[in-house]
Copies of this chain bind each other. A is one copy, B any other.
Amino acid sequence: MKKEAQLFKSLADETRLRIIWLLMAKEELCVCDIMGVLGITQSKASRHLRYLYHLGWVTDRRAGVWMNYRLSVSPGSPEDKQLKLLADILKSRPEAQELREHLEQWLAAKGQDKEGAAACQCR
């Protein structure tokens, strides 16, 4: 059951849960979005995203300089059910709701800066 233990281990970290929670809300996000919304180091954001990538939770898609990530579980799979259950648990948590509002604000602010084009300039 090593495989199953590892599956849970991949969810046993608050930062990874937050990332997944954001990706459940937004379909696709780049690393700098996640840094910004969660207020964490680039190093930290990237590390956890690669972790999730190597375990198959997310796929990456390069768009120029940006690297976009999105959830990649196949519908109906155990992983998919697990995510749905997680969403079910989190949706009632104020903490999680605030995170999503924070995400909306972040994306809105990003959208304003010159429409569409390179609006990141993550510092």
Contacts and interface: CB of A to CB of B under 8 A. Distances in A.
Interface string A1-19: 1101110110111100110
Interface residues of A, number: 25
Contacts of A85: 78, 81-82, 85
Interface stretch (A40-48, A87-95, A104-112, A114-122): A87-95
Q: How many copies does the complex hold?
A: 2
A10 to B, nearest CB: 8
B14 A11 contact: no
Contact of A86 (B4, B93, B95, B96): B4
Given A1-B90, A2-B14, 13 more contacts: A1-B14, A1-B95, A4-B14, A4-B89, A5-B12, A6-B12, A8-B9, A8-B11, A11-B12, A12-B12, A78-B85, A78-B89, A82-B85
6 contacts: A1-B18, A2-B14, A4-B14, A5-B12, A6-B12, A8-B8
Interface of A: 1-2, 4-6, 8-9, 11-14, 17-18, 21, 78, 81-82, 85-86, 88-90, 93, 95-96
